[in-house]
């Protein structure tokens, strides 16, 4: 009895000591998680602790600089974040810091003296330390991988080579949707538009060119002009605008030193057709861009016409039905933009503009930041452009301005233009007039802020289009033609 009583105070002291050690160890884990290196400083390991704290301090300073840059130097920040080698280097820095941080967490557990906590307490705290260290290391590996993927994508996509000089106060960007299906020979540029953007306000006019435009003048600077001095034409009527890309590749010897003869030839032709000097191009693979839409989380539009999915018109369920704020997946957006079995090429041109407008409005900075890796990876697979990384910030700033303005739309389709026998003089005249109208709106807005009206839009027909076709009521070609209008609200409204 006396022996047991003599040992009790000592046992209590030892138990309390173990509990104290456990609390100290838990505190050191929290310290290491919040401020890497602080636990080592508390434990007396000054060298290791200072290394961790200094690295952490540098990261905090970098984060603050980035935050300030969002407001004061956003263009510089965006240029840095879209430079491939910068992201590649950052990926290894993030990985190294993450692994070092994980080591500091485990080291904090060891510095707390687990041998003096008791086996159970030491084991529990050690398990927590391993879980925390594993989470930090896994996060670093994930972020590092995302940065490398993004860097590779940006290096691939933003190859540079475009003309950075402003053209009469505007940036003219050639937008191409390519279609290289298994049932086709070569690549067909089935969607061709030019976005003419005011370099100061971002106000945009979007010109759509039909893929079946014939007798296309190739331009004095084009080496193909010697073979087609009177324009690209042939008796079979197969020589159309969307075949010029493949034509140039078939004659690539005429373009020595040119990376993509097809794109160069299309740029030459579009410049001659519209009279606009092209700054940049962006070519999107129409089958692959659904991945980009999905990376954005889908798109939302107010849809005013019904479009069949996959050419299946057997039931109402096989149609993308009209409705407000309709959410479209990448696959649905692809069909909405490309379907023409129940309509015409010209109606499809309008739907493609709807999708482009929706993407412009919904690619806000928060969405891009939260899904940066997925968007960059998808872009690397489906997008080719000659925009250099140094100009991304400028164009992004203009895109943000454009979101608050109405986009004027012009489609060079019947009855304005007959694609089989186009009046190219009328096309150039229309381009000049619509740009002048757009510029007048900017002047009006500058003199009377908030009172400038949207650019007037001209409808190709006053007939109301079919708005709710089902299997029992399919749209006819005649009905589809009535949707050929520069007023996209008859087709859709971007959210």
pLDDT tens digits along 197-207: 999 999 999 89
170-494 maps to CATH 3.90.226.10? no
256 band by pLDDT with thresholds 50, 70 and 90? very high
Give residue-wise pLDDT tens across range 162-183. Answer: 888 999 999 999 988 776 554 4
Q: In this predicted structure, what is the pLDDT of residue 168?
A: 92
Question: Given this model, what pLDDT does residue 476 score?
Answer: 43
Tell me, what's the pLDDT at 381?
56
How many CB atoms neighbour CB 329 within 10 A? 14
pLDDT of residue 423: 93
**What is the mean pLDDT of the segment spanning 70-85?**
77
List pLDDT tens digits, range 2-14. 444 445 565 565 5
Instruction: Sort 477 into a burial class: Cβ within 10 Å, 0-12 / 13-18 / 19+.
Output: exposed
pLDDT at 434 (0 to 100) = 94
Mean pLDDT over 272-289 rounds to 84
- Which range has the worst mean pLDDT, 226-230, 257-261, 419-423, 443-447? 443-447
**At 215, is the pLDDT very low, low, confident or very high (cuts 50, 70, 90)?**
very high
Which residues, listed in sequence order, are joined to residue 171 by a DSSP beta bridge?
197
How confident is the prediction for the chain on average, in pLDDT? 78
**Tell me, what's the pLDDT at 166?**
92
Checking if the pLDDT of 454 tops 80, the result is no
CATH 3.40.630.190 in the chain, residue ranges: 170-494
Band (pLDDT 50/70/90 cuts) for residue 132 is very high
Q: For the residues 114-141, what does the mean pLDDT come to?
A: 86
Share of the chain above pLDDT 70, in %: 75
Specify the DSSP element, H or E, that contains 199: none
Q: With CA atoms as reference, report the closest residue to 98 among 143, 34, 60.
A: 143
**Position 439 pLDDT exceeds 70:** yes
What pLDDT shows up at residue 464?
Answer: 36
pLDDT at 160 over 80: no
Residue 74 has phi, psi (to 5 degrees) of: -60, -35
Q: Measured between alpha carbons, how far is 164 from 367 in angstroms, rounded to an integer?
A: 27
**Between 168 and 289, where is the model more confident?**
168
Residue 428: predicted pLDDT: 95
CA-nearest of 345, 343, 323 to 413 is 345
State the DSSP code for 123: H
Is the full-model pTM beyond 0.75? no
- Tell which wins on pLDDT, 491 or 185: 491
* pLDDT over 70 (residue 240): yes
Is pLDDT at 417 greater than 70 in this prediction? Answer: yes
pLDDT at 453 over 50: no
> Residue 234 corresponds to which tokens in the numbers above?
């042939």
Residue predicted with more confidence, 164 or 385 = 164
Read off the pLDDT of residues 298-315 as tens digits, 9 standing for 90 and up. 888 888 777 777 665 565
The Cα–Cα gap between 306 and 309 comes to 10
Locate 309 and state its tokens: 């999915």
- Model pLDDT, residue 297: 80
pLDDT tens figures, 338-349: 776 666 666 777
Indicate whether 289 pLDDT > 60.
yes
Range with top average pLDDT, 157-166, 226-235, 314-323, 427-436: 427-436
Residue showing tokens 């050929």: 484
What are the Cα distances from residue 94, in Å, to 139, 273, 303, 443? 10, 49, 44, 48
The stretch 231-256 carries a mean pLDDT of: 89
Length of the chain, please? Answer: 495
The pLDDT, as a whole number, for residue 87 is 87
pLDDT tens digits, residue range 48-76?
A: 999 999 999 999 999 899 888 878 877 77
pLDDT on residue 330: 82
Say whether pLDDT at 368 is over 80. Answer: no
What pLDDT score was predicted for residue 9?
60
Tokens of 36: 């890497």
């Amino acid at each position: 009895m006396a022996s047991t009583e003599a040992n009790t105070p000592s046992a209590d002291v030892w138990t309390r000591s173990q509990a104290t050690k456990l609390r100290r160890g838990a505190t050191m884990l929290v310290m290491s998680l919040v401020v890497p290196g602080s636990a080592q400083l508390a434990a007396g390991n000054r060298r290791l602790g200072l290394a961790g704290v200094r690295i952490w301090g540098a990261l905090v300073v970098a984060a603050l600089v980035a935050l300030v840059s969002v407001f004061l130097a956003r263009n510089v920040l965006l240029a840095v974040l879209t430079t491939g080698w910068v992201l590649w280097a950052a990926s290894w820095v993030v990985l190294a810091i993450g692994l070092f941080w994980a080591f500091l967490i485990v080291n904090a557990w060891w510095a707390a003296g687990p041998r003096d906590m008791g086996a159970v307490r030491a084991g529990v705290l050690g398990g927590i330390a391993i879980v925390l260290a594993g989470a930090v290391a896994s996060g670093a590996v994930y972020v590092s991988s995302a940065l490398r993927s993004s860097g590779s994508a940006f290096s691939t996509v933003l190859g540079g080579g475009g003309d950075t000089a402003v053209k009469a106060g505007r940036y003219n960007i050639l937008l191409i949707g390519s279609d290289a299906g298994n049932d086709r020979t070569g690549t067909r540029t089935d969607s061709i538009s030019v976005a003419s953007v005011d370099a100061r306000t971002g106000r945009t006019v979007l010109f759509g060119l039909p893929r079946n435009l014939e007798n296309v003048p190739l331009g004095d600077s084009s080496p193909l002009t010697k073979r087609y001095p009177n324009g690209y034409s042939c008796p079979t009527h197969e020589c159309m605008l969307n075949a010029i890309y493949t034509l140039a590749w078939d004659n690539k010897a005429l373009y020595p030193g040119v990376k993509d003869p097809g794109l160069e030839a299309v740029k030459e032709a579009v410049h001659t057709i519209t009279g606009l000097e092209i700054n940049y191009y962006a070519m999107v693979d129409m089958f692959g861009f659904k991945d980009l839409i999905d990376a954005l989380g889908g798109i939302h539009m107010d849809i005013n016409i019904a479009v069949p999915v996959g050419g299946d018109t057997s039931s109402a369920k096989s149609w993308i039905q009209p409705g407000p704020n309709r959410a479209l997946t990448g696959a649905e957006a692809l069909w909405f933009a490309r379907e023409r079995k129940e309509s015409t090429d010209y109606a499809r041109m309008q739907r493609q503009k709807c999708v482009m407008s929706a993407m412009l409005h919904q690619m806000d900075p928060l969405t891009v930041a939260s899904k940066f890796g997925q968007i960059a990876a998808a872009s690397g697979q489906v997008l080719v452009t000659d925009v250099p990384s140094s100009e991304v910030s400028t164009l992004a700033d203009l895109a943000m301005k454009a979101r608050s303005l109405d986009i004027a739309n012009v489609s060079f389709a019947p009855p304005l233009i007959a694609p089989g026998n186009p009046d190219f003089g009328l096309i150039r005249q229309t381009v000049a007039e619509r740009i002048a109208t757009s510029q007048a709106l900017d002047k009006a807005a500058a003199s009377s802020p908030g009172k400038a009206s949207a650019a007037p839009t001209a409808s190709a027909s006053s007939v109301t289009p079919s708005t709710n076709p089902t299997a029992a009521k399919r749209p006819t070609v005649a009905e589809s033609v009535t949707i050929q209008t520069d007023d996209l609200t008859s087709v859709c409204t971007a959210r």
